[in-house]
Amino acid sequence: AQRVTQPEKLLSVFKGAPVELKCNYSYSGSPELFWYVQYSRQRLQLLLRHISRESIKGFTADLNKGETSFHLKKPFAQEEDSAMYYCALRDMEYGNKLVFGAGTILRVKS
Amino acid sequence: GAGVSQTPSNKVTEKGKYVELRCDPISGHTALYWYRQSLGQGPEFLIYFQGTGAADDSGLPNDRFFAVRPEGSVSTLKIQRTERGDSAVYLCASSLIASGGQETQYFGPGTRLLVL
């Protein structure tokens, strides 16, 4: 079965420190991976997708098929990065539903 | 333009009652999804519509849950004989599949359902 695992419920870092939010997945086919973010009192929104291979708000994520991982990284955390982050996998074998991890709260302290 | 909207934003009901949750997708979006998010969990898929038809309803937990999208736009999620375990945030998302198969799901603010 498709599964997305985010091992950390909470990650707390100081402003300016590097950030790495971990995501591992299990999927039988070729996955499409995403990171979604939910800021306080806002709706869930797409941060980035692996296909685009772009940097959004200083965040990047590389799909590692060998390790089945899609970790989210940023070299220097900012206070406005504090939010809930969800890793998600698009299940292209059975419609287009997203399979989400449980989420990681990122707290950036000043 | 306007994003996905959901009504009501909050719903409190008693065990055994019937509830309807409404989703207005982004205009022109052909795909519509319902997810359920329990406390401390990520969103879990319930059902996916392509146009008016349910293309995948494999996530509906049991036959108390039903959803419709009669005109290919607004969708209603219906829950019969509600149970306390149905308490959750119900999220709706819509999308337009772009050329090359890329798709971005845009989420609504959710309806927070509490069953007493």
Query: Percentage of chain B surpassing pLDDT 90?
Result: 85
Looking at residue B103, what is its pLDDT? 85
Contacts of B58 in chain A (CB under 8 A): 94
Residue of A nearest to B33 (CA): A97
Domains along chain B?
5-97 (2.60.40.10)
Least confident segment among A33-47, A88-102, B31-45, B55-69: A88-102
CA–CA separation, A54 and A49 (whole Å): 8
How far does B111 lie from chain A, in Å, by closest CA?
Answer: 11
Give me the total of CB pairs closer than 8 Å, taking one residue from chain A and one from chain B: 54
Q: Which of A4, A88, A97 sits opposite B48 (nearest CB)?
A: A97
Looking at residue A31, what is its pLDDT? 83
Looking at residue A91, what is its pLDDT? 76
Judge: A43–B3 Cβ closer than 8 Å, yes or no: yes
Residue of B nearest to A5 (CA): B42
Residues B31 and B103 sit within 8 Å (Cβ to Cβ): yes
Cβ neighbours of residue A4 closer than 8 Å, sequence gap 6 or more: A23, A24, A25, A87, A88, A89, A99, A100, A101, B42
Cβ neighbours of residue B104 closer than 8 Å, sequence gap 6 or more: A46, A49, B95
- Give the residues across from B103 on adjacent strands: none
Query: Percentage of chain B surpassing pLDDT 70?
Result: 96
Contacts of B102 in chain A (CB under 8 A): 49, 51
| Model confidence band, residue B13 (pLDDT cutoffs 50, 70, 90) | very high
Could you say which architecture CATH assigns to the domain A3-109? Sandwich (2.60)
Contacts of A97 in chain B (CB under 8 A): 33, 45, 48, 56, 59
Per-residue DSSP letter, B114? E
Looking at residue B98, what is its pLDDT? 61
Contacts of B35 in chain A (CB under 8 A): 98, 100
Contacts of B99 in chain A (CB under 8 A): none
Residue of A nearest to B31 (CA): A96
| Model confidence band, residue A108 (pLDDT cutoffs 50, 70, 90) | very high
The token duo for B104 is 């971005």
Looking at residue A43, what is its pLDDT? 95
